[in-house]
Structure 1
Amino acid sequence: MSLVEVTDLTVEFGSLRAVDGLSFRLEEGAALALVGKSGSGKSTVAGALLGLHRGTGARVGGSVHVAGTDVQRASDGELRRLRGAEAAMVFQDPLSSLDPYYAIGDQIAEVYRVHTRASRRAARARALEVLERVGIPDARRRSRSRPHEFSGGMRQRALIAMALACSPGLLIADEPTTALDVTVQAQILDLLHTLREETGMGLLLVTHDVGVAAESADEVLVMRHGKAVEHGPVGAVLGAPAQAYTRDLLGAVPRVDAPRAVAAEASEEIVLEATGLRREFGRGKQAFTAVDDISLTVRRGETLGVVGESGSGKTTLGRMLVGLLRPTAGDIRYDGRPHTDVNPAVQMVFQDPVSSLNPRRTVGESIADPLRARGERGEERIRERVLELLERVGLEAAHYARYPHEFSGGQRQRVGIARALAADPRVIVCDEPVSALDVTTQAQVVALLGELQRELGLALVFIAHDLAVVRQVSDRVAVMRRGQVVESGPVDEVYDAPREPYTRQLLAAVPALDPELAGRRRAARREPAVT
């Protein structure tokens, strides 16, 4: 019997059929990637494998067998034994999966005790063992840390350790690398690959990133509207897709080895200039330098890309350029004049539009705020301008009265762009504006920014950990590491002939669509990293 056998699976939420007649198998030790846009039903399928829809009101049809358990007919006790002991799940957001009040080691030990009834001493030893196995340094000390004391990559490793505690035969990973920078993403994917090699466990990977699928899976199943569009060996499906939808999905993937298709029409006019920027947090021995002596210029009509790992200082730099943070040292000048506070001419599009939009106010009112702040008078005129902006970013007049939760991720990001445009800016700083979006929505938002830039002559500072996206949108690029710019220049020069080992390391960590190339890069990453 297969490790996973799904036959004619349907999942309905009210009138919405999220999964529609899906069938597939996964053998022991194999890896299958479910790939598709947001809303295609991928995560719903993953939840169905563990019976997570039971008691939610969802209607589940068809049959699901996992590790010999008939998930549809299993009792609650049988499902509890299945979850963790036979099959385990790693979710996209580790912070929502980990208890903020308890130490990481205690949480892993508790999972082990629940399923094995081991002693506290044995459970503690097992927690340390799996933490060491997933590469947590100084595991004994770090096991006493709470989730907020771990970085994003370390939290994801801790979740994988928890999943491994009971040695399951199946690991379900639901978007495990979405919010991680390229080097940490590569480390997590390498870890999953190594665990499969050493333990023989099966892997079901849910992802909207086709490159991640190429790096990690033997087979790929492309989903659309809850149905299977294409299914087969990863090399065949990604190398020669038979279906137009799969070809469109691949066509939307930004390529790190492809020059920018359309260059911006930049002028020599400098609109934003930073000199010797430094930003410290804390005092005395606890002081931490997030940005250290950075100088840069941004010209009208151009895009300056800023790349680097998490913690490199990218977001801190962006917030100083906008005026949300005051530099500890250094100067920022807009149009040749000192720029120290928030300036309507320099706006920001944030990574997470949900947290930057008031959930209790309609998006129309949120977009209107900058208009009122700059002295616009007359509610009718303000409303007309908001409707113009909504239409300009590809939304509709009817969206004015809706609330943020009623929009998709891509639509919310369009709202964020409309709000930034309301201030009539000349510079927009984009902080990871597409990091949580699927590749087609990502391409739409990037295309919108490029169109606005060309029409309005905007200067863009595009901050991202996705090097492929940055290459597609940028004229020049600055590579940041530990608060400093280690390499900068025209984007094609930096990408095609990087001078710094760190830049080469970043580029080598970008997922490849060719599984054979991905394997060679994985082997190369086992060599000592830049220190």
Structure 2
Amino acid sequence: MSDIGDIETAPARGLVEVSDLTVDFGDLRAVDGLTFRLARGAALALVGESGSGKSTVASALLGLHRGTGARVGGAIDVAGVDVQRASDEELRRLRGGQAAMVFQDPLSSLDPYYAIGDQIAEVYRVHARASRRAARARAVEVLDRVGIPDAARRSRSRPHEFSGGMRQRALIAMALACEPDLLIADEPTTALDVTVQAQILDLLHTLREETGMGLLLVTHDVGVAAESVEEVLVMRHGHAEEHGPVAAVLGAPARSYTRELLGAVPRVDVPRVGVPQVDVPQVDVRGEVSGAKAGLDAEGAPGGAVPEVVLAASGLRRAFGRGKRAFTAVDDVSLTIHRGETLGIVGESGSGKTTLGRMLVGLLEPTAGDVRYAGDVRYAGDAQYAGDVQYAGDVRHDRHARVGVNPAVQMVFQDPVSSLNPRRTVGESIADPLRARGERDEGRIRGRVRELLHRVGLEGAHYDRYPHEFSGGQRQRVGIARALAADPRVIVCDEPVSALDVTTQAQVVALLGELQRELGLALVFVAHDLAVVRQVSDRVAVMRRGRIVEEGPADEVYDNPQDPYTKQLLAAVPALDPRIAAQRRAARRELAAV
């Protein structure tokens, strides 16, 4: 008779058991032989670049590829359900009941026509067979649980009436309605600023503690993984590159790819190592810019020589609405930008960053104040008009005719998908500024567009392709090429890398730096990612509620912030060290309890 100590006990079945998972889309193998396990109550992050297969795995766990033409192989067990063999009815019970998913874009996941509370109540009624009244009460309960203030009243609001962070909280509330054993969060914080991101990550951590649910986090942000999970699985080309405890994988990665991935992560605590600047020509203040208004006569330079000013804004204000509903998005902002430098503008969503950027470009008229662009032609002197935008060499007095017509300043938008016409080739989109300037020779237009495509790292043959045929990083390169077509002196970049993985993000940032060196461009870099802004910026302006609360050299602002709001922003940046992340989370919890 064997000793009882020799008896082997089978390990408890995990909440998620995946073995040799493969997913094929036609001839493309998106996931290749992936195996992993998630215990009940544990948290695992799938980390990797765009196209690594992370989201494909997440969808496979809930059987979302069924009926799409994708071929799924291997074994998938979620909360005791064999996903591969389950009937459609069994999968419907699994989704939302035992396992729920929070998607990256809450706007596309929520119905714009129905109140938030009604949508949550409907999910609860389907799975819990509850009455309308009970479902309504449950919706208010979970909205309150995820931190929506005045939940009963806000449950009657529609998605467009919520901020980005509140919409994401609403999606989490919907996922929690049926108390699932597993929450799958697919890039839940990608488009959120650092303080809202910290709140969402803290919320997920608290919910795990309170409910014991498991968490599968899909993210390209290594810092988010360090903040949120105990284990990390690094994916590349559909297979597992490295898998282990988060502290071990991020602290001492065994694989070169993981080291490269970590090396591409911008660090908020590291001084700028970025691009060397162009040789900036000096302009005597007694010469061309002498007498110009709105900061174009920059003061204090030794010997009376200062770098050439290419953009100066004075007293910018922008209000929306009228009467009691009037809202001031930007309030009395003044700034000056010199040739070859990068000014970073940071702040939370709603701080006025994008509104300011659009006024600098001329896409929005200021309610008050003015913007001036220095060109080769000297200003015509003293004229200043409240609400006007003046362009050097093209001073007009009809402000409505002037909005957006100045080629000296161009914009690269946050979402290249929505800023490119899906029905036109990328070449035609890039050619628009050339035609707007009067170019009519189609041969010369096509040749110039091909040059621009090469300059941003694409191929001339891409002229005839459509936006959907490009990756996110490639589409952003197209947007940069279109901005360059106008031969600008200033490019305003509005969140140009917020939706990109860290390696693609690094490539786009490096491209902007290279173009800046070659062309002497000035950049205005608007972003909520403080780490990226530090690595690209010479100077940084911190915005809050429409005003600049702190401005100065980047390293000075980051290493020795003076304004409490700047300190708050920096404290919310995810840390790559899980121990530091835990300390910060505890500090935020204590602060919230005060």
2:525 paired residue number: 462
**1:313-462 alignment, distance < 5 Å:** 313-335=352-374, 337=379, 338-339=390-391, 341-342=403-404, 343-462=406-525
**1:201-220 alignment, distance < 5 Å:** 201-220=213-232
CA distance in 2, matches of 1:281, 1:527: 37
CA distance in 2, matches of 1:398, 1:276: 46
Select which of 154, 169, 172 maps to 1:157.
169
2:555 paired residue number: 492
The SS at the match of 1:205 is strand
Q: CA deviation at 1:341?
A: 3.1
Q: CA deviation at 1:373?
A: 1.0
CA distance in 1, matches of 2:277, 2:137: 57
CA distance in 2, matches of 1:389, 1:530: 54
The SS at the match of 1:326 is coil
Give the conservation status (yes or no) of the 8 Å contact 1:505–1:529: no
Select which of 563, 569, 572 maps to 1:509.
572
Q: CA deviation at 1:528?
A: 3.7
Select which of 206, 210, 219 maps to 1:194.
206
Residue 4 of structure 1 pairs with residue 16 of structure 2: yes
1:27 paired residue number: 39
2:323 paired residue number: 284
Give the conservation status (yes or no) of the 8 Å contact 1:109–1:120: yes
Q: CA deviation at 1:323?
A: 0.5
2:277 paired residue number: 264
Select which of 503, 518, 521 maps to 2:581.
518
Larger Rg: 2
Question: Normalised by the size of structure 1, how large is the TM-score?
Answer: 0.99
2:8 paired residue number: none
CA distance in 1, matches of 2:463, 2:342: 30
Select which of 59, 80, 86 maps to 2:98.
86
2:336 paired residue number: 297
Q: CA deviation at 1:387?
A: 0.5
CA distance in 2, matches of 1:320, 1:526: 38
CA distance in 2, matches of 1:128, 1:377: 60
**1:123 maps to amino acid:** A
Q: CA deviation at 1:125?
A: 1.2
Tell which deviates more after alignment, 264-273 or 35-44. 264-273
CA distance in 2, matches of 1:368, 1:111: 48
The SS at the match of 2:32 is strand
Specify whether residues 116 and 322 from structure 1 end up closer, same or farther in structure 2 by C-alpha distance, changes over 3 A only.
Answer: same
1:270-297 deviations in Å (ceiling 9; x for gaps): 1100000000011111111000000000
1:124 paired residue number: 136
Q: CA deviation at 1:265?
A: 3.7
1:134-160 deviations in Å (ceiling 9; x for gaps): 000000000000111111100000000
Give the conservation status (yes or no) of the 8 Å contact 1:90–1:174: yes
CA distance in 2, matches of 1:528, 1:237: 31
The SS at the match of 2:171 is helix
Tell which deviates more after alignment, 77-86 or 475-484. 77-86
The SS at the match of 2:574 is coil
Give the conservation status (yes or no) of the 8 Å contact 2:278–2:518: no
**1:510 maps to amino acid:** V
Q: CA deviation at 1:266?
A: 6.5
Give the conservation status (yes or no) of the 8 Å contact 2:182–2:216: yes
**1:315 maps to amino acid:** T
1:481 paired residue number: 544
**2:438 maps to amino acid:** G
Give the conservation status (yes or no) of the 8 Å contact 2:410–2:490: yes
CA distance in 2, matches of 1:334, 1:98: 42
Give the conservation status (yes or no) of the 8 Å contact 2:361–2:410: yes
Tell which deviates more after alignment, 82-91 or 340-349. 340-349
Give the conservation status (yes or no) of the 8 Å contact 1:87–1:170: yes
Specify whether residues 360 and 191 from structure 1 end up closer, same or farther in structure 2 by C-alpha distance, changes over 3 A only.
Answer: same
CA distance in 2, matches of 1:9, 1:381: 51
Give the conservation status (yes or no) of the 8 Å contact 2:278–2:516: no
The SS at the match of 1:271 is strand
Identity among equivalent positions (%) equals 85
Tell which deviates more after alignment, 279-288 or 335-344. 335-344
Unaligned runs of 5+ in 2: 1-12, 281-306, 380-389, 392-401
Give the conservation status (yes or no) of the 8 Å contact 1:102–1:146: yes
Q: CA deviation at 1:529?
A: 6.6
CA distance in 2, matches of 1:345, 1:109: 52
Tell which deviates more after alignment, 138-147 or 370-379. 370-379
CA distance in 2, matches of 1:299, 1:483: 23
1:144 paired residue number: 156
The SS at the match of 2:330 is strand
Unaligned runs of 5+ in 1: none
Tell which deviates more after alignment, 258-267 or 168-177. 258-267
CA distance in 1, matches of 2:591, 2:312: 37
Tell which deviates more after alignment, 223-232 or 253-262. 253-262
**1:344 maps to amino acid:** P
Task: List, as ranges, runs of 4+ consecutive aligned residues in structure 1 with deviation greater than 4 Å.
Answer: none
1:70 paired residue number: 82
CA distance in 2, matches of 1:360, 1:110: 37
The SS at the match of 1:526 is helix
CA distance in 1, matches of 2:28, 2:270: 39
CA distance in 1, matches of 2:351, 2:514: 29
**1:341 maps to amino acid:** V
Q: CA deviation at 1:376?
A: 2.2
Give the conservation status (yes or no) of the 8 Å contact 1:348–1:429: yes
Question: Normalised by the size of structure 2, how large is the TM-score?
Answer: 0.88
Select which of 243, 258, 262 maps to 1:231.
243
Q: CA RMSD in A?
A: 1.3
